[in-house]
């Protein structure tokens, strides 16, 4: 499977290597796939802006309850904040495309 991972933090593109792309893909898609009613993921977009979390799977918005929103936000920010060149995360966008 070919995958494309694009990561932007505070409107700045973050360069990733093969390991980081795979880790972001598996961690993010794994969390989303565990949510109820999620179809097989072909495209995934996760946007975080402050406390707000929005997830789109295959072009369809995914409703999130407060718990799911908090755990997704905390996990992704924890994962991304340790990457080189990333400081405080106020705004984040992850785009994943699988072919």
Domains of the chain, by residue range, sit at 3-98
| Phi-psi label, residue 61: left if phi above 0, alpha if psi -120 to 50, beta otherwise | beta
Report residue 16: phi and psi, to 5°: -130, 150
pLDDT category at 2 given cuts 50, 70, 90 is low
- CA atoms within 13 A of residue 73's CA, in its CB half-sphere: 18
Quote the pLDDT of residue 87.
Answer: 86
Quote the pLDDT of residue 85.
Answer: 84
- Report how far residue 28's alpha carbon sits from residue 45's, in angstroms, rounded to the nearest whole number: 10
32-67 pLDDT, tens digit per residue, is 999 988 999 999 999 999 999 999 999 999 999 999
């Amino acid at each position: 499977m070919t995958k494309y991972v694009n990561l932007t933090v505070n409107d700045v593109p973050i360069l990733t290597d093969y390991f980081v792309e795979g880790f972001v893909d598996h961690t993010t898609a794994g969390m989303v796939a565990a949510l109820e009613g999620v179809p097989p993921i072909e495209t995934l977009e996760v946007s975080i802006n402050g406390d707000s979390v929005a997830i789109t799977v295959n072009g369809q918005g995914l409703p999130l309850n407060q718990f799911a929103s908090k755990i997704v936000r905390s996990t992704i920010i924890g994962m991304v904040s340790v990457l080189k060149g990333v400081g405080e995360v106020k705004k984040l966008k992850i785009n994943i495309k699988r072919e």
